[in-house]
Amino acid sequence: MAKGSCTLKRQTKQECRDSVARHMTNVAGYLATDHIHPLHPPSPTTTPPLPDCLATRMSEHDAAANLPKILDDQAPPSYLASAIKPRVVLWVDDNPENNAKLIAEAKAAGINVQTAKSTAAACELIDNGIKDWGDFRVITDMHRIEGFGVEEPQAGLKLMGELLTRRFAKYPILLFTGTQANVTMWQAKHPNLKSTIDYTVARDFVLFNV
């Protein structure tokens, strides 16, 4: 029985030696594959290549770190700049209650609607009231009762003159009226001036659909 046990013990040690030998062979093969000699480690100036997964992670980290600078160096796309500009409508009418439904619809769409009952009130808003013009446009009636109860049949055209004086010719203006007198003359000075009596046209104008 003792002899048998001794034989088993010698076999176990031999198996252990064989296992260690195989392991050392595998390690040497691994080091040789990576071009690193087991007795000559890489010099301090030699950097072994990173595994692909780690290199990818580091590249992603560097890109994220540089993202704020990249964004600062780039101007926003034109479509984005247009999208973030506020939309402002100045509606001049001595009876604003007649336009209440469309004004409410425009405000629900995020449009800043400013109302004025007279040319003087409109000029006050233009000069002092509106802080951020963004996409700005004006809609006005033609015939109004102006300050002190004075009837002005061409108040809309007089407003055009005030806008031109303030260099507002670049902004769209819509005369919401059936009176076409002298409109053609003003359109020569103000190419963005339009005139209509059609409610659908006025609605599209106020909602920035055109």
H helix or E strand, kind and range, residue 174: strand 173-176
Residue 103 sits in the same domain as residue 202: yes
Residue 99 sits in the same domain as residue 120: yes
Express as a percent the part of the chain with pLDDT over 70. 59
Residue 66 sits in the same domain as residue 23: no
d(CA 156, CA 136) in angstroms, rounded, equals: 17
Residue 59 sits in the same domain as residue 35: no
d(CA 195, CA 202) in angstroms, rounded, equals: 9
Residue 62 sits in the same domain as residue 6: no
Residue 133 sits in the same domain as residue 186: yes
| Rg from Cα positions in the chain | 40
Which of 76, 94, 123 delimits the end of a domain?
76
Residue 22 sits in the same domain as residue 62: no
Residue 1 sits in the same domain as residue 39: yes
Residue 189 sits in the same domain as residue 100: yes
Give the domain extent around 19: 1-43
Residue 108 sits in the same domain as residue 59: no
Predicted confidence band at 12 (pLDDT cuts at 50, 70, 90)? Answer: low
Q: Give the CATH number for residue 163.
A: 3.40.50.2300
pLDDT in tens, 145-197: 887 788 888 898 888 888 888 877 788 999 998 776 567 777 777 778 888 89
Residue 55 sits in the same domain as residue 39: no
Residue 55 sits in the same domain as residue 128: no
Q: Is the pLDDT of residue 65 over 70?
A: no
**How many structural domains comprise the chain?**
3
Task: Give the alpha-carbon dihedral of 197, 201, 204, 206, to 10 degrees.
Answer: -20
At 51, list the tokens: 């595994």
Kindly report the backbone phi and psi dihedral angles of residue 209, in degrees, each rounded to the nearest multiple of 5, phi listed first. Answer: -85, -10
**What length does the chain have?**
210
d(CA 19, CA 93) in angstroms, rounded, equals: 98
String of DSSP letters for 190-201:
-TTEEEE--HHH
pLDDT in tens, 115-141: 999 999 999 988 887 777 788 999 999
H helix or E strand, kind and range, residue 173: strand 173-176
Look up the pTM and report it: 0.58
Predicted confidence band at 8 (pLDDT cuts at 50, 70, 90)? Answer: very low
Give 91's contacts (C-beta < 8 A, 6+ positions apart). Answer: 99, 103, 113, 114, 115, 116, 138, 139, 140, 206
